Amino acid sequence: MHDRKSLSLAAELRRNMRAEFPAVARLSVTDPDFMEAILDYAGRSQSSMVQAAALTLRSQLERAGHLQRPVPQERSREQDAAKADSPRPKRRVYRGRVIEDPE
């Protein structure tokens, strides 16, 4: 579970965001996606104070290992070349349906 400091910061964020996002009031600390939801709302907020607190919360959670940073996938040139060489079936739309043309 999350540490006390992160939970208190998330609760403070929730209180500050209630005026801007009424749905935040329905979020519960016991929800499994509570932290992600709070960070999502904070990212859409117009308040710079809320966004700064969200960045602090995110860094605390990443440091503690509760949030994982997305790892960008490296694409090799061979994979790109294989995709370019593979023939794609031609598609067209006929009366609202997608039809693949045989070759």
Q: Does the residue 15 lie in any domain?
A: yes
Q: Does the residue 26 lie in any domain?
A: yes
Q: Does the residue 73 lie in any domain?
A: no
pLDDT in tens, 23-58: 888 888 778 787 788 888 888 888 888 888 888 888
**Tokens read off for 57:** 């919360």
HEC string of 44-72? Answer: HCCCHHHHHHHHHHHHHHHHHCCCCCCCC
Q: How many domains are contained in the chain?
A: 1
Q: Does the residue 54 lie in any domain?
A: yes
Q: Does the residue 100 lie in any domain?
A: no
Q: Is the pTM of this model over 0.85?
A: no
Q: What percent of the chain has pLDDT over 70?
A: 72
Q: Which domain holds residue 12?
A: 4-64
Q: Does the residue 76 lie in any domain?
A: no
More confident residue, 91 or 78: 91
